[in-house]
Amino acid sequence: MISKTIQDGINEQIRNEIQSAYLYLAMSAHCEAVNFAGSAHWLRAQWGEELEHAMKLYRYVYDRGGRVTFQAIEKPPSEFPSLMGIFQQVLAHEQKVTALINSLYATAIKENDYASQIELQWFVKEQIEEEKNASAIIEILKLAGESGPSVLMLDRQLGARAKG
């Protein structure tokens, strides 16, 4: 059985993952509207990944005999800045999520919950990937400059992302 403290923490993280999904879908919708089709595709794939993260935790709660309860998610912004601004927001958001995962992991240590530590290790590793991907796009945008053909090339590259 899962402790109430860990169950609450994981339910909170399920909310955070769904909140991330909602934010990325809002960004995708914006990119769609301004004809950055590749970025829209990339962000929609990211939306799907965040929902998978939520469902991985959802499954885990039930595997441990717990109960999932849902919490409110916030309305995402409807206006977004340039492509550079969007990916800077993605990176900042992922850094925030990393901190939340780390603090949940610290709780699992405090609670002597070894199974949850192992489950959360997957998320700790995933966050390395998430931050790395956003940083890499920002670096390319820095080289490309804020506008012009190289940004369109990058947008096309983002459109080649497999999932979504």
* 130 belongs to the binding site for Fe ion (CB under 5 A): yes
Interface with Fe ion: number of residues (CB under 5 A): 4
Residue 23 burial (CB < 10 Å; 0-12/13-18/19+)?
A: buried
Q: For the chain, how far is it from start to end, CA to CA, in angstroms?
A: 35
15 binds Fe ion (CB under 5 A): no
Asked whether position 93 contacts Fe ion by CB under 5 A, the answer is no
DSSP string, 48-91: HHHHHHHHHHHHHHHHTT--------PPPPS----HHHHHHHHH
Instruction: For the segment 29-58, give every residue that binds Fe ion (CB under 5 A).
Output: 50, 53
Of 125 and 142, CB closest to Fe ion: 125
Q: Would you say 100 or 140 has its CB closer to Fe ion?
A: 100
- Report the residue number, 24 or 36, with the smaller CB distance to Fe ion: 24
Which spans of this chain sit near Fe ion (rule: CB under 5 A)?
17, 50, 53, 130
